């Protein structure tokens, strides 16, 4: 069932079509947008919004409505908010922007369903921007956009190379079942493609891919600062047919495509370079949307998790993790080590 060599080469070639000029464009845009944003803040706001790059807050991330550090959209003037959202647009592609807007808008639905109790808990502008280090086109720095069900973490090494991880998106409800927005599924593509892949497996393949009959209550890695390859891994890409492998790669592209095109291309190129043959797919739970489901995709460089188990299987959590690129931790450490030797 191993796909022909020409198929592998064609897929790899597609991912590696990225130029140095394109790769550096996001960094330039982020540098400019971050400086415009910071220059519009008061001194008190700027102090609240910024931390040193090496501060522990850099990796203090979460995706539930907990108290956060940074400056919230709610604390900004309309003009400042526009500049903050302009910074967000420098990092996200169309897929990411549409999902982020949809997730924030679900706060209004939750506010109505929960009768705004506790007061002010659900708010589409209760999302925070935090800058780590000093925005630069030569030095390393980072930034974060985070709130309920969203966590976007960007690291710029040498002010030029952008790494986007962890990337968390969640939805509650996963499917709006009443009212004028009935049928809306912000993360429906992630769910549908996963179901399509597991249901394309034959009986022998499913015995390998399905790691549990019941889905876990949460993504396994939660909000850990460091993640490693998870076991059991499920079924390897080499055990899939060509059509199934294409489904697997398409699903990976959905997660990488949350970032803008240049960042997505670099992410996919790194995944391909590490080996598409080394991808694995694992499933837990039912094979349809009637009950809780979970899947994970792993490669030598990354981990994807999707879980829809809470609220009677109508509450999705999904994440993309980079084993070396999360918060740019290992990449920055390597960079500092090289500079120290010089």
Per-residue pLDDT tens over the stretch 168-180? 999 999 999 999 9
**What does pLDDT average to over the chain?**
92
Do 266 and 219 meet the contact criterion of CB atoms below 8 Å apart?
no
Enter the tokens of residue 293: 């489901």
Looking at residue 117, its pLDDT comes to 75
Query: Which of 312, 87, 297 has the alpha carbon at shortest distance from 190?
Result: 297
DSSP 285-321: E-SSTTS-EEEEEE-SSEEEEEEE-HHHH--EEEEEE
Reported as half-sphere exposure (CB side, CA atoms, 13 A), residue 245 has a value of 21
pLDDT in tens, 21-44: 344 599 999 999 999 999 999 999
Please give the Cα distance from 236 to 205 (Å, whole number): 10
Q: Tens digit of pLDDT for each residue in 261-305?
A: 999 999 999 999 999 999 999 999 999 999 999 999 999 999 999
Q: What is the pLDDT of residue 11?
A: 43
Between the CA of residue 297 and those of 88, 110, 217, 218, 253, what are the distances in Å?
Answer: 26, 30, 18, 16, 12
Amino acid 221: pLDDT: 98
Which pLDDT value is given to residue 22?
45
CA dihedral in degrees (296, 297, 300, 302; nearest 10)? -80
- Residues 340 and 336: their CA atoms lie apart, in Å, by 6
Q: Structure tokens of 341? A: 């030797």
Give CA torsion, residues 205, 208, 212, 214, to 10 deg.
-10
Q: Which two tokens stand for residue 323?
A: 């084993």
Does this model's pTM top 0.85? yes
Residue closest to 297 by CA, chosen among 220, 183, 202:
220
């Amino acid at each position: 069932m191993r796909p022909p060599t020409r198929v592998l080469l064609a897929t790899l070639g597609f991912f590696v079509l990225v130029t140095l000029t394109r790769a550096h464009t996001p960094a330039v845009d982020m540098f400019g947008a971050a400086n415009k944003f910071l220059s519009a803040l008061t001194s008190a706001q700027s102090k609240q919004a910024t931390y040193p790059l090496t501060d522990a807050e850099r990796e203090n991330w979460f995706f539930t409505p907990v108290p956060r550090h940074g400056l919230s959209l709610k604390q900004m003037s309309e003009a400042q908010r526009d500049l903050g959202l302009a910074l967000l647009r420098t990092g996200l592609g169309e897929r990411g922007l549409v999902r982020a807007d949809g997730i924030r808008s679900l706060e209004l639905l939750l506010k109505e369903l929960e009768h705004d109790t506790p007061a002010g808990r659900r708010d589409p502008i209760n999302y925070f921007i935090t800058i780590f280090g000093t925005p630069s086109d030569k030095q390393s720095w980072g930034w974060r956009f985070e709130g309920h069900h969203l966590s976007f973490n960007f690291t710029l090494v040498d002010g030029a190379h952008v790494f986007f991880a962890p990337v968390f998106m969640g939805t509650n409800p996963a499917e709006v079942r009443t009212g004028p927005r009935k049928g809306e599924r912000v993360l429906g593509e992630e769910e549908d493609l996963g179901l399509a892949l597991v249901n394309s497996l034959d009986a022998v393949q499913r015995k390998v891919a399905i790691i549990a009959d019941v889905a876990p209550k949460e993504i396994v890695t939660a909000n850990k600062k460091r993640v490693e390859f998870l076991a059991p891994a499920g079924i390897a890409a080499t055990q899939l047919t060509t059509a199934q492998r294409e489904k697997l790669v398409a699903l990976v592209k959905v997660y990488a495509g949350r970032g803008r095109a240049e960042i997505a291309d670099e992410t996919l190129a790194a995944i391909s370079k590490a080996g598409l043959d080394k991808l694995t797919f694992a499933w837990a739970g039912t094979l349809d949307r009637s009950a809780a489901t979970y899947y994970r995709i792993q490669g030598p460089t990354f981990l994807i998790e999707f879980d829809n188990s809470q609220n009677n299987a109508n509450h999705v959590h999904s994440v993309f993790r980079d084993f070396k690129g999360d918060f740019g931790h290992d990449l920055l450490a390597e960079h500092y080590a090289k500079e120290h030797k010089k």
